[in-house]
Structure 1
Amino acid sequence: MTRSIAFGGLPDDGWRARAADVIPGGSSTGSKRPEALYGTRAFDAAMPTHFERAQGCALWSTDGRRFIDLGMALGAVGIGYADPSVTQAVHETVLQGNVSILPHRLEVEVAERLIEVIPCAEQVRFLRTGAEATAAAVRLARTATDRDRIIACGYFGWLDWCSDAAGVPQDVRDAVTWVPFDDVLALRSAVALGPAPAAIIIEPLVHDIASLEWLQVARDEATRVGAVLIFDEVKTAFRVRTGGVQALRDVTPDLTTLGKAMANGYPLAAVVGRADVMDAARRTWISSTAASEGTGLAAARAVLEWHDRLDVCDRMASAGGQLQQILGTALAEAPWVGVQVAGPPVMWRLVADVAEQLDALVAAAARSGVLLKRGAYQFGALAHDDAACDEVARVLPEVMQSLVPGPRMAT
């Protein structure tokens, strides 16, 4: 199949080249590298690589073009970019001094509020990223149980304990037993085969929400062998439910990691959980200079206030579902595109048998002012109102038509 679609005509404004010169890969965030965003279309000049400003669910690239964003900062923004109430809370904190030799009082206030809304939470430790939070949870579990082995399912960031990348020692890799998502037999077998684990750590949503049976088996097996059950709810808390998948499925882990939408894009993460397990933090070392810095905590308090005022997660699911239906209908009517939608409305993905077809769709949508996340996930946000959804719907016929198979004249 030939897809000779011209993607020239818009000059590279230099940011892509400048980034490549000074930042390995072009971005410090792996998922924001041009190759990750656009695949085989990464070096098409029309593809935006940097933004100047963002508001609501829209962003403006460095050359002034406006885009509706469905990726919402990799799910880190659930309310909207530059939300006035969150921005005001952060601004007030900055004006009063966001950091000092003492921890900010917001560390206590936000911890108290998290204990109210996360089912497993009795105590809290703050960090800055989800990767740090999951590493801290694993450290706590190993300290609490005096064991080494971890049973894991999901993506937990880039740190050594969960990575098979170059530079990670083999003995570190060997300490983790990986199991497939939502596979009860595999989970039971992993627990039975080998030394008793320190922890079972799982993402309760990988492409879809985990079944109640699998989560309950994880709970039962962890209890039976004295392991710590950890839910990585970095993506799912403050999105599937305020309290995460554990609140939806009514299965309570021992520890939970939080991040992303908790602070609407400001850097903040946390590990929360049972007091007796969290107390292991006093017998090991988990610390970060910026863990109690005020801006992320101020943003999180503002997000918690949003969740107090209305059912934010229901609104996210509604917006995500509306966008999923719009894309799904357009793709069903254009089978030549070769892409489908899949997953729950609150965070869904684009799937294709041929990667280049997905790349072509993402690139064509970008040319028409819509930024799609290549693959997983598209995230609904409060800012995706009817006007934004209508705007996406209006441009899709043009996008699909541009992908009709066959050679095309350059424009």
Structure 2
Amino acid sequence: MTYNPFLDMLRSHADGNITGIPSICSSHPLVIEAALLEGIANKTPVLIEATCNQVNQDGGYTGMTPSGFRRYVEQIADKVGFDKKNLFLGGDHLGPNPWKNLPAEDAMAKAKVLIGQYVEAGFVKIHLDASMPCADDVAPLSDATIATRSALLAKISEDTASGQKPVYIIGTEVPIPGGAMEAIDHLEVTSADAAIATYEAHRSAFAALDLGDAFSRVIGLVVQPGVEFGNENVIYYNPAAASDLSAALKQIPGIVFEAHSTDYQPVAALSSLVKDGFAILKVGPGVTFAMREALYGLDQIASFLDQIPPSDMLATKLEHLMLNQPGHWEKYYHGDANAQRLQRHFSYSDRIRYYWPTQEATTAVDSLLSRLMQRNLPEPLISQYLPKVYPLFATAKQKPTARDLIIEMIRLVIRDYETACRRI
């Protein structure tokens, strides 16, 4: 029988144990490599997820189809020696969202192709999300309409799956993808009644299509536990505020909650989320934010060592790139010129992550790493500009390369999630 970490997680919860699984939502090769190396170190499975906008039949913003994304991730796994039997791929927010400017019938037709390609490519965790109104819909959509459309997508998934049947995530009450656009000071936690109503609406919609077996593999419900991040601040998990929602799991056996936008939560908050039943913890911008911190720290080290003028530094090159191609940030960052400049580089929403795959950014990063590979990095400079990882290498016999430092910065974030899930 094929190993299924999600069913193991459910069994553990049913037995009263505290367990969960991190979901790494990033397509950057360094992030994926770091996640797989952390999995090797901990002997744990690794879940990598792609979103409908990131990876779809049209290529998404990564230029990859679901099968292409699978090959891409597996190539990284082969490079680092990760056992692919422990690699699990998930599809996030799979539904009509990329085509919501079309009439609902046309958008759903596209979404059905999307679901089919994800399942055919071997993605085993599918988040069904038909919550977004399409061009001819009246907003907001009712629970029944969302559930009916989700069930139609599940039918395609079931008909497509030829091997291991996927597990499903339902529910749509999530934070804004990539973080809020403004400063935030409070959030409305999903009510217990709303969570149960979502579950029941989907159960009815699945039953109407004779999808009882598929519904038995619904393992998670997406809710808002009260966590979020804006451009410059984070709302931390408050267990007391989510106590009623957490208690609702007793009325939905065989289900855990999936928490989105858990980026930047301290390990104590992540542990509390898992303890309270939010067993699937998604992280995306948080890992690329750590990668950017590492790259900018290395940029400062290279600048000091080689007396590089500001005009030739990585951050300056990225600033020019983002100003020349503002599509990924201009609708999200506000304020005067100085405020926008701060957000372009240091916002928690980390929209700079969309620029790393470009030729300009790749060339600039390669140039920086090539420069630093030619010399030993002085410990005091690592301490100064990368203090989070300095203690890990200070007493090591093997001195770190620039690339080692980037990977370790990312792994520090992922390690908090592994610790919170009690899987080390």
> Is the pair's TM-score, using the shorter chain for normalization, greater than 0.5?
no
Which structure's residues are more often strand, by fraction? 1
Which structure's residues are more often helix, by fraction? 2
Question: Does 1 or 2 have the higher relative contact order (CA < 8 Å, sep 6+)?
Answer: 1
State the TM-score, normalized to the length of structure 2.
0.28
